[in-house]
Amino acid sequence: MIKTAVFPVAGLGSRFLPATKAIPKEMLVVIDKPLIQYAVEEAKAAGIEKFIFITSQGKEAIEDHFDSHSALESVLQARGKTEDLEKICSIRIPEGQALFIRQHEPLGLGHAVWCARHYIQEESFALLLADDLIQAHKSCLKQMVESYNDDDGNMVAVIDVPESEINRYGVLDIARQSGAKVVARGVVEKPSSANAPSSTAIIGRYILRKSIFGPLGLKKQGAGGEIQLTDALQTLLASDTPLTGFRFKGDRYDCGTKIGWLQANLALAASDPELRPYLQSVMVTLNKAS
């Protein structure tokens, strides 16, 4: 049973400056929701009941977003705007189910995960990176949770990426594949295309065994001088904890980049019956202009 999820939200979001100078990058909006809300909703759909946010200075807006807002709720109720009231009330994380932990130094994803070590009580927990917005009929994490068993060890969501993008990802060395699952014999963080063991790359959805905190606690620096989660996965793999890639059904958008964020907005607008006609008219106008 996977009941706890960790959300690393301490990053600076430098690709979106100046917008992210005062606004957390996880609060960037796609259509009408911030990125972090999509990730939390995905976790809720997978049965997650405890939400751990690894934050940093200037990220208070994330905590406020999932809190109640008495003044706004009262105004909406008085004006009879029940639909809007329901929208903001549904965002709340129930009392006692959300925990916000400060990461004092930007030492990498592995370090952010390690910051949650004292608050994970189950043998396995989920990790979601809000930069990755995944559009799927059944949420990506729900697919993973339903497929996961103890023999999978640590499970990571994977996609195949173009050769030109391989150096941005952790990449699996594949031993074999069975259905949606890929059994890895190794993992390499941000290899060059010439040295990559495959084109199968890890994206921001994980189910991790609690034993991951052991190698992360050694705080060994990896690629980019940061504490890399993939290095800890490789260490556990060498100690006979399996590493399983999971090929989920759905479309992933890397909203940590401007192009990915734009693609996500267009894709979600195209799937919205209310917005689709306007999107089509805009595209027609752009085509004429070009």
Domain regions of the chain by residue span: 4-152+204-237
**289 has pLDDT over 80:** no
Tell whether the model's pLDDT for residue 145 goes beyond 70. Answer: yes
The helix (run of H) or strand (run of E) holding residue 8 is strand 4-8
For residue 4, what are the β-bridge partners? 50
- In tens, the pLDDT along 38-51 reads 999 999 999 999 99
**Which residues lie closer than 8 Å to 222 by C-beta, 6 or more apart?**
108, 110, 189, 228, 230, 231
- pLDDT tens for 118-140 read 999 899 999 999 999 999 999 99
Identify the band that residue 249 occupies on the pLDDT scale cut at 50, 70 and 90: very high
**pLDDT the model gives residue 130:** 95
Average pLDDT over residues 168-195: 92
Give the model's pLDDT for residue 235: 94
Q: CA–CA separation, 186 vs 177, rounded Å?
A: 14
Q: Three-state SS for 5?
A: strand
Please determine, for residue 96, whether its predicted confidence score (pLDDT) is greater than 90.
no
Check pLDDT > 90 for residue 282: no
Rounded Cα gap, residues 84 and 77, in angstroms: 9
- The confidence score (pLDDT) of residue 290 equals 67
Tens of pLDDT, residues 211-237: 999 999 888 887 777 889 999 999 999
User: Looking at residue 279, what is its pLDDT?
Assistant: 87
- Looking at every residue in the chain, the average pLDDT score rounds to 92
The architecture of the domain spanning 4-152+204-237 is Alpha-Beta Complex (3.90)
